Amino acid sequence: MADAPSAWLCSYPKSGRTWMRFALVNLLDRQYGLDGSFDMENMFGLIPNSDGEGKTQTWKMPDSYRFRDRPDVPFVIASHLRWKTAFSDRATVFLVRNPGDVVVSRYHHMNRHEGKFSGSLAEFTLDPDWGLPDLLGYLESWQPHIHDPGTTVITYEALKSDPVPAFGRLVEGLGIEAGRGALEAALEASSVDRMRKVEATSGVGQPQAYDFDDPDARRVRKAKVGSWREEMDEDTIATMLAEIEKYPAAREMLEELDILPGPAFS
């Protein structure tokens, strides 16, 4: 097992982790004079995953971290795990996204990218393994800890609406020092268009083949805020809102962060 991380980057799947990992890799590459050859496959050698047993390929895990001989380089691990006490021992950034966008994005990921779900979006929304029940249970595990010392909460929506200051807070929350110019350069190198080009060349370390020509099969899909309203019908939105009410702690967090979904056409 690799040494303990200097910081954690935590999120539920489809909450912006791939974007932020790639931006951080570009930032650290410039800040610490690394090898300059990072793509969306080998980036796990700098920021690996710790998502639980059987949840990721072994070469993406902390044992594959490439920079143990550089103790000056921050060692950040990304995780989709529910809150655990290890997150209270290190600087932790918790990345959160509107659950409507998370569900739609994960539906396309499981349906078109991984091919593990063949039902409708409405059916996926209530799927206990991949849909809202899993997401809301995850958020409930985090809700009591979002104001803990050493924990920084950043929303995907803030990163999209005002990228440089929000990315700056994320970077600072991980204990990394960077000026505005470095933040801007890392974000520019991690734009949607740039990431799509890199994905088309290197892939994203996925174990299965997928059709890159299908926009909904790509890891870098729409990268938009609020596109769930374009894809969910009124009944599915109503189902989503009713399910959220069953998880009061998750609802409280979403409301506090101003990313609680509203009714159709609100």
Q: How confident is the model at residue 214 (pLDDT cuts 50, 70, 90)?
A: low
Closest CA to 40 of 19, 66, 55, 58: 19
The tokens 């005002």 sit on which residue? Answer: 162
Domains delineated in the chain:
7-256 (3.40.50.300)
The confidence score (pLDDT) of residue 211 equals 53
Its sign, for the CA torsion 243, 19, 219, 234, is positive
| Average pLDDT, rounded, for the chain | 89
| Spatial contact of 18 and 204, defined as CB atoms under 8 Å apart | yes
Question: How many CB atoms within 10 Å of residue 204?
Answer: 19
Taking the C-alpha atoms of residue 171 and residue 183, their distance in angstroms, rounded to an integer, is 9
Q: Is residue 154 within a helix (H) or strand (E), and if so which, with residue range?
A: strand 151-155
| Spatial contact of 77 and 48, defined as CB atoms under 8 Å apart | yes
| pLDDT above 60 (res 112) | no
Closest CA to 257 of 106, 152, 185, 186: 152
The confidence score (pLDDT) of residue 208 equals 55
| Spatial contact of 141 and 87, defined as CB atoms under 8 Å apart | no
The confidence score (pLDDT) of residue 257 equals 98
The confidence score (pLDDT) of residue 113 equals 55
The confidence score (pLDDT) of residue 213 equals 60
| pLDDT above 50 (res 216) | no
Average pLDDT over residues 77-86: 97
Question: How many CB atoms within 10 Å of residue 228?
Answer: 22
Helix/strand/coil for 8:
strand
| Spatial contact of 173 and 94, defined as CB atoms under 8 Å apart | no
Taking the C-alpha atoms of residue 196 and residue 203, their distance in angstroms, rounded to an integer, is 9
Q: What percent of the chain shows pLDDT beyond 70?
A: 87
**Strand pairing class (91-96; 151-155):** parallel
The token duo for 147 is 């104001």
Q: Which residues pair with 10 in a beta bridge?
A: 79, 94
Average pLDDT over residues 54-62: 83
What is the spatial order of strands in the sheet that 91-96 belongs to?
76-79, 7-11, 91-96, 151-155
Taking the C-alpha atoms of residue 255 and residue 129, their distance in angstroms, rounded to an integer, is 24
The token duo for 104 is 């739609």
The token duo for 31 is 């800040």
Question: How many CB atoms within 10 Å of residue 178?
Answer: 19
